[in-house]
């Protein structure tokens, strides 16, 4: 249930981002960047493994942020709503890294071999 809700939120936010990018795209370079972003988004949504899906959506949000920054540098106009949406998607999809200490810990349930009576003597 939690993962389904998370995917719905990603879908809505990324759809709003893509619609905003379509509205401001002028040249062929911007349309190619938008097409790449759309392909990356579709690859993220149609992936079967959930941890890989979140990682692809992280890269979609990172690409969206760089796209907005490049638009800001070359057009001298900053789209604050798109920047806010991209930051929200970025923060939601930020991967949760597992520390090495937690990965190296032994499990608490250990199975012991049965003790034979002959070994006791």
Rounded to two decimals, the pTM is 0.67
Tell me how many helices (H) and strands (E) the chain has. 6, 0
Count of positions (residues) in the chain: 121
- Using 50, 70 and 90 to split pLDDT, how confident is the model at 120? low
CB atoms closer than 10 angstroms to residue 86? 26
Q: Which of these, 55, 56, 78, 61, lies nearest to 13 by C-alpha position?
A: 61
Q: What are phi and psi of 60, to 5 degrees?
A: -65, -45
**pLDDT tops 80 at residue 86:** yes
pLDDT digits (tens, 9 = 90+) for 13-65: 888 888 888 888 787 877 887 888 888 888 777 775 666 777 777 888 888 89
User: pLDDT class for 111, splitting at 50, 70, 90?
Assistant: low
């Amino acid at each position: 249930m939690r993962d389904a809700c998370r995917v719905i939120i990603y879908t809505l936010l990324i759809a709003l981002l893509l619609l905003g990018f379509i509205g401001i795209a002028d040249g062929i370079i911007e349309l190619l960047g938008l097409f790449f972003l759309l392909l990356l988004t579709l690859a993220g949504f149609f992936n079967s493994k959930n941890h890989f899906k979140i990682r692809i959506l992280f890269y979609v949000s990172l690409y969206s942020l760089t796209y907005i920054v490049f638009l800001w540098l070359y057009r001298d106009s900053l789209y604050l709503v798109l920047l806010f949406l991209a930051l929200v998607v970025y923060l939601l999809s930020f991967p949760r890294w597992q520390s090495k200490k937690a990965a190296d810990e032994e499990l608490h349930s250990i199975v012991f071999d049965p003790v034979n009576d002959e070994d006791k003597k």
